[in-house]
Structure 1
Amino acid sequence: MRIKLSWFLALVAVLSITACTSTPEERPSQRQNSQISQSLFDYSDSQIEQFLVRGATTQSMITARFGQPRGMSQSGDYIYWHYIERYQREDGRNGLAILNVVFDRAQIVVDYDFQVRHFSDS
């Protein structure tokens, strides 16, 4: 229950922070960013599930794949990393990709949440 409440609070915080950021005109995968091997939008749920193995995947493995997180927080024995990407195109299509990862003190994945949403203004 404590982890679920922490997840909810972390998601609210991340969404609140990103509501104030500017959005690019292209998909994040089209950006030139050496820290991120590819955009979160380019991953399927099954690819994330194969990579993020609870009890096995480490912080350094995640950093190598996704770069530095956009935000970090800690609650008790757990460390939370937050990745978020957005796009907004001129035709009114938008997208939001969120990856939240929970680590234990040994920097091993305990849990994660991955969501990708595409929507239109019309």
Structure 2
Amino acid sequence: MEAAINSYLNEKGEQKVFETEIDFLYPPNQKQFYDFLGRVIEDAVAWLESAQAMVKSEINFHPRGEAQEMGAIAGQTNFNLDESSSFSYSEKHAIDRLASIPEKMRKMGVDEKTIKFYEDQFLK
């Protein structure tokens, strides 16, 4: 990574961002790099948060029950175009399937924190 950073030069042959060659093992350069990296991350998070707010303001979210029904129906799509798809929805069947997932997760070795998150999101 050092080589990539140090090869990023302007027309005068000077490092474009740090104005000096960077050595990660030299404490002042290390601090300079990590300060820069921290600012890049903060700027990226701020941009993502504003983009998220803008996108969310443009989306018409469906109520949870309606979204689950549409997802269950979409999941029945047969992508073999030579065959037809048949679509049906049973709320009881969907609830039973959702309720069976935590046990399957446990058998797969999923940690309890993740299972609890799933249960809080989908079973309450």
- Under a length normalisation based on structure 1, what TM-score does the superposition of the two structures give? 0.21
Larger relative contact order (C-alpha < 8 A, sep ≥ 6)? Answer: 1
Structure with more of its chain in helix, by fraction? 2
The structure number with the bigger radius of gyration is 2
